[in-house]
Amino acid sequence: MNKIVKAIVPFVLAGAAVFFISGCHTEDNDTAEGNVPALSGTVSIAPDSIEAGTLLTATYSGEEEVTFQWKKGGDKVGEASKTNPNTYTPEEMGIYTVTVSFSGRKSKISNPVIVKDDSRSILGGTVSISPDSASTGNRLTATYSGSEAVTFQWKRDGINIGIASKTKPNIYTPVMPGNYTVTVSMNNYKPISANAVTVTLTTPQYQGNAHNPIITSIYSADPSAHVWPSHPDRLFLYPSQDVFPAPSGFDTMDRYHVFSTNNMLDWIDHGEIIRRDDLADLGLSQKNPTNMYMWAPDAFYYDGTPDLGPYFFIFGHSPNPSGVSGQEWNYWTVFIADSNSPYKDFKNSVRILKDSKGDNVTGGHMYDPCVFADDGKYYVVLGGGNVCHIAELDVANFQLKEPWRRFTQSQLPHYNEGPWMFTRVNDFGEKIYYVMYAGKHDGISTGSDNQGYATADNVYGPWTYRGSILDKVSGDWTSHGSIVQFKEKWYLFYHNAKLSNNTGNLRSACVDELFFNPDGSIQKVEQTATSVPAVGPPLTQAAVTAEFGDYGKIEVKYPDLESESNDFSGLEFNKRYPAMDSTVIVGGLAGVNDPNGARKNVDGNGAVEYMNASGAYAEWTKISGGASGGRAALKLDYANEGSSLLLVTVNGEVIRRPLSVPTTGGWRNYSEGGFYLINLQPGDGNTIRFEGGGVNIKAVLIYHSSK
């Protein structure tokens, strides 16, 4: 800086200081409403005038344990040191203040401090961003030409937007429009900033196709969402799975899949990671129909030991070691597995979690685990049956460090099950601990659960109940979910039963945006059919295959599934296959005649009734695919008294979702419906199999493509 500019700077800053001081003062902050008591002390900063790169220290004279929020020109400058939050080292010229706050008291603002230019050395390189203009969702890359080991700080419209990726701090993917720049710095050197890049708002070409549910290839419940430090631009989802059809008398939940997204619209199925039979192979369970319970899981990231992880997967399973009827779902064991990958290689490392005495963590209602990481410590939070359990975890030894601390409904009102814990800093700089859980938060003692939450200033409470944030979901059965921040937005993941026509034990993962009030309280989430906007460009299967190989397949979107059921354009009727055709194979509880009078052969029409999902099926063989095969469709001539679901298998491949057949109003009221798009092979060797419950099928009608 030349001498003329240096001479002008103090006068400019002094004038700015006069303007700034006229808008604030060192007494009570008048923005607080009501008769809120004032803090007992005062706050000040020393020294009152410094050069950039020099430490500022704020002092509070009162007894309250206040929080400190540093600002430059009235704008927040990010979190200060966690160990010394009352200190801050400004790297840029400007006017700085600090605000102190304490729950239930009016906040106070310090005297302003003028930070002038400094005499530190100048970095040897330059910094720039490319491209020099972009749309939201497109990656920005900062390049520093010097040899110094600098740090990168990204800003939008002059405001810090957080630390970039630890592994690639010079890369940032903006999800909001604005003017972006990056500052590089190093101890004892003046920071330098890059050229500003204007980022415009863009809408991905398929934005209007966003829809809930988000997972369509399987039924998925209890979604646990995470953004790992190793993959800051990708959100991973770890749900439980409802399998259809379930054995008679049981709900099948015996396996787990992993999904991910980098734009909140294209979801990638990374495949199955663990199933009940894997535990049996390890001697941790048994392969029998009563051991089907693998309920809500969670995952966490821990890189504290070179021999484990850093990805961990935790879940509850009821192995029913005694084989006692009625205990299939009420004797739980907590398991943990680790892997070097967030989406594979977990199944061979499963261990049983130990308690603080070294015994297995087992017992009634010990399910729905969540692992909460806070300042280097890890906590297991779990429990159903109206009791929440919390204990610190020794990750490296798969063991609790302390006995369980129990929280009943007297401490967490309406608590039933499914805890999810996280932290967030509100607009006043206060760190808040949240626990969301399922219960009767709507005040209705009967029916299914909804979601509510409580807050505290530490992991063990005491907790303050805050009320409901998610109404009951379609299907009116259970409620379970997770809350996560991704690309500057907060999301609530949950499940409903829309994909299965409100069949309560066939649920599907959904997501909607979550909003906080300035004090940190949560606004009630609106459940939408359109889900959330995309936060990145569209994906192609080719790009997914290049990155993940066989471990990545893009999910079909829900509207596409709807079109598969209804779009018969370009299709022409080919042939009707009656239920009494000689090529129809009937098995399980299905049949064409029944001396006991069950309606399995209605009015001599040869319709098959599927009594329940316990192996009952009908299989049409020798279905014609024509000379070239390919796109075809089917619909049923059927009757039923209530809406039903049928599992469809074409040529040995199970179709990704059941066929929905609405009620016809009675077993004798036949109607054509249940439209479904399939693919057939050339020739007459095709086989179509139906399994499910509560349908009389008179015939199957096949339509072929006319193209």
Q: Which residue has the higher pLDDT, 693 or 574?
A: 574
- Write out 488-551 in H/E/C secondary structure: CEEEEEEEECCCCCCCCCCCEEEEEEECECCCCCECCCCCCCCCCCCCCCCCCHHHHHHHHHHH
Strands (E) located in 194-331:
197-200, 219-226, 235-242, 255-261, 268-275, 298-301, 311-317
Say if 3-116 and 207-561 have the same CATH topology. Answer: no
450 in Cβ contact with 467 (< 8 Å) = no
Q: Which residue has the higher pLDDT, 382 or 677?
A: 382
> Collapsing DSSP states into helix, strand and coil, what is residue 267?
coil
Could you say which of 3.30.450.20, 2.60.120.260, 3.30.530.20, 3.10.20.30 is the CATH number of the domain covering 567-705?
A: 2.60.120.260
- Write out 632-672 in H/E/C secondary structure: EEEEEEEEECCCEEEEEEECCEECCCCEEECCCCEEEEEEE
What are 48-60's pLDDT values in tens digits?
Answer: 888 888 889 999 9
User: Of 462, 475, 465, 413, nearest to 440 (Cα)?
Assistant: 413
What are 480-508's pLDDT values in tens digits?
Answer: 999 999 998 999 999 998 887 777 788 99
Architecture of domain 207-561: 5 Propeller (2.115)
DSSP state of 243: B
Instruction: Give this prediction's pTM.
Output: 0.68
Q: Which residue has the higher pLDDT, 329 or 177?
A: 177
- Fold classified for 121-200: Immunoglobulin-like (2.60.40)
- Fold classified for 3-116: Immunoglobulin-like (2.60.40)
Q: Which amino acid is at 231?
A: H
How far is C-alpha 630 from the chain's CA centre?
Answer: 36
What are 115-155's pLDDT values in tens digits?
Answer: 887 777 888 899 999 998 887 767 788 999 999 988 888 88
31 in Cβ contact with 24 (< 8 Å) = no
Task: State yes or no: pLDDT of 613 exceeds 90.
Answer: no
275 in Cβ contact with 281 (< 8 Å) = no
Mean pLDDT of the chain: 83
pLDDT at 29: 40
Q: Name, in order, each residue with C-beta under 8 angstroms of 574's C-beta and a sequence gap of 6 or more.
A: 624, 626, 632, 702, 703, 704
Point out which residues pair with 100 in neighbouring strands.
68, 108
Domain spans of the chain?
3-116, 121-200, 207-561, 567-705
Question: Got the DSSP string for 4-60?
Answer: HHHHHHHHHHHHHHHHHHTT--SSB-TTS-SSPPBPSS-EEEESSEEETTS-EEEEE
Q: Which amino acid is at 438?
A: A
Q: What is the dihedral of CA 24, 29, 32, 35, to 10 degrees?
A: -140
Q: Tokens in use for 534?
A: 């995309």
480 in Cβ contact with 368 (< 8 Å) = yes
